[in-house]
Chains A and B, each alone.
Chain A
Amino acid sequence: MKIRDLILKRITTLVLPFIQVYGFYVIFHGQISPGGSFAGGIIVALGFIAYATAFGTEEGRAVLPEKVTISAESYGTLWYALLGMVGIVKGVPFLANKLAGIDLGVPGTISSGGLIALLGIGVGIRVASTMVTLFFTMLEEEV
């Protein structure tokens, strides 16, 4: 699939950084404002999907090779599990936050979530790589 449209490519190049920054903003502020890692991850993935749609599948694959998406998916899940283990190491239930003795800070600030902010980064990366993998799987599969 290859689209030769100068306007489409130029607009995609201009809008792409704003899409990505907005996606990461939604991920990082998931614990104090609307949004979250799921929605943010999908927005980040939509940026890559827009690039791959405008510039062709081969060029999109060059930006995000299969190796990168597979390891992002696996390590995102592993990151979530490792952070959940913090509670077990401390002798409290899995995924415990305040019980594990983590400083929750001032409510309303970005560091007030404890482990939630770090969990959100893992979930966001995993959701983004899953969406990109779905897209490329449907695009590259021979009918």
Chain B
Amino acid sequence: MTMVDYGNIAMLFILIAASLTVYFIRNLLHAVIVYGVFSFIMAVIWLQMNSPDLAITEAAAGIATTVLMMLVIFRTSRREE
């Protein structure tokens, strides 16, 4: 077990925590922000697993889907007080 392995294990735990948070959180905007964290950590893990191709796709598609989900939230139910 090298330092890189410990880093990978830590990132996988962050990944599990982020996905559980997205599921259980009540505020939709906060859920989207945590989903951005999930996407970023996933991109770093792809890079660690020697697949930069998927890392680039995950980063770009993660940003794009986050923007689209933000738009959907702002256009539907959530209203700023």
Show the binding face of A for B, using Cβ within 8 Å.
Answer: 26, 34-36, 38-39, 42-43, 45-46, 49, 53, 131, 134-135, 138-139, 141, 143
Contact = CB atoms under 8 A, between A and B. Distances in A.
Contacts of A49: 64, 67
Contacts of B67: 46, 49, 53, 135
Interface in B3-52: 52
A51 to B, nearest CB: 13
A143 B64 contact: no
Interface of B: 52-53, 55-57, 60-61, 63-64, 67-68, 71-72, 75-76
Contacts of B57: 35-36, 38-39, 42
Contacts of A46: 60, 63-64, 67
Contact of A134 (B53, B60, B68): B68
Contacts of B75: 138-139, 141, 143
Main secondary structure of the interface of A (DSSP, over half): helix
Nearest to B71: A138
B55 A34 contact: yes
A42 B61 contact: yes
B69 to A, nearest CB: 10
Contacts of A36: 53, 56-57
